[in-house]
Amino acid sequence: LLELDDVYKSYGEEQVLSGVSFEMDAGDVDVVIGPSGSGKSTMLRCVNRLTEIDSGDIYLDGDCVTDADTDVNELRKQVGMVFQDFNLFAHLTALGNVTLGLRKVRGMDKSAAQEKGYEHLEQVGLLDQADSYPAELSGGQKQRVGIARALAMDPKLLLFDEPTSALDPELVGEVVEVMRDLAAEGITMLVVSHEMGFARSAASDIIFLDDGRIVEHGPPEQLFENPEAARTGEFLSRLE
Ligand code: ATP
Ligand code: MG
């Protein structure tokens, strides 16, 4: 479903991604780990072209999304993104946040968008908060609205950039639980996260990125129990 082929990206002198290649099948949940500054967010942002790559190719469902003539708006309908700091509109209710894209991007009428909005709020356990504004929600609830908003667009792929790292520790669990449900439903997800519980239980593969390179890539059992690269073991021992 997703393929990165020899992707390079630099900012000025700084090489941030140096020949990143991997593939994901539909239904896979790949978790990206790695030190701060290793290029995790940049890699994610390249997939929906919030960041432009210097060379290489990225394919989604067989289409090269990094071609100059790719319709970026069309691409972003197919690739949802959940951000660390939620990125909700403060002046819109939970339902308003979830339905905005359905109305503006998908062109659905109000009642159809609301029906679908309620469906996705229910999916993340927030039907009872549909009329609440972000300021009235906890961090965990805000992030679940962010997830519902992304799901509402029926994306082929969902990107998560450290979805729980802005949350108080006691609120992490409710978001991880929603993500686990999505994984079990077969939603294809590329997740930057250091939640090792989630990685161990839900990931198809773990990708360890260090200094813009994939140092190790494999199923969680292998990567956690028997890492091939010394660097991977070192990094994991500092996490756990
Ligand atoms: P973290 O774990 O801290 O979120 P990360 O692995 O997500 O780190 P990136 O955010 O991808 O790392 O950043 C990789 C490198 O690229 C960093 O050195 C960062 O300073 C640099 N960088 C990222 N975005 C930009 C930008 N828009 N302009 C210039 N440099 C950038
Ligand atoms: Mg980051």
Of 10, 14, 16, 51, which is best to mutate to test ligand 1, by the most ligand atoms within 8 angstroms of its C-beta? 16
pLDDT, residue 159, reads 97
Substitution candidate for ligand 1 out of 11, 190, 208 with most atoms within 8 A of CB:
11
Q: What's the pLDDT band for 231 if we cut at 50, 70, 90?
A: confident
Q: Kindly provide the ipTM of the predicted complex, given to two decimals.
A: 0.96
Position 236 scores a pLDDT of 87
The pTM assigned to this predicted structure is: 0.91
3-state percent helix, strand, coil for the chain, nearest multiple of 5: 40, 25, 35
Q: Whose CA is nearest to atom 30 of ligand 1?
A: 11
For residue 78, what pLDDT is reported?
A: 93
- Residue 28 Cα, ligand 1 centroid: separation in angstroms? 25
Distance from C-alpha of 232 to C-alpha of 219, rounded to nearest angstrom: 13
Cβ(89)–Cβ(96) under 8 Å?
yes
Q: What is the pLDDT of residues 197-219, one digit of tens each?
A: 899 989 999 999 999 999 999 99
Q: Identify the helix (H) or strand (E) that includes residue 200.
A: helix 196-202
pLDDT of residue 140: 94
Per-residue pLDDT reduced to its tens digit, 112-168: 999 999 999 999 999 999 999 999 999 999 999 999 999 999 999 999 999 999 898
Residues around the ion ligand 2 (C-beta < 5 A): 40-41
Strand 63-64 and strand 189-192: the pairing is unpaired
Classify residue 59 by its DSSP letter. E
Q: What is the number of the ligand closest to the CA of 161?
A: 2
In this prediction, residue 228 has a pLDDT band, given cuts at 50, 70 and 90, of confident
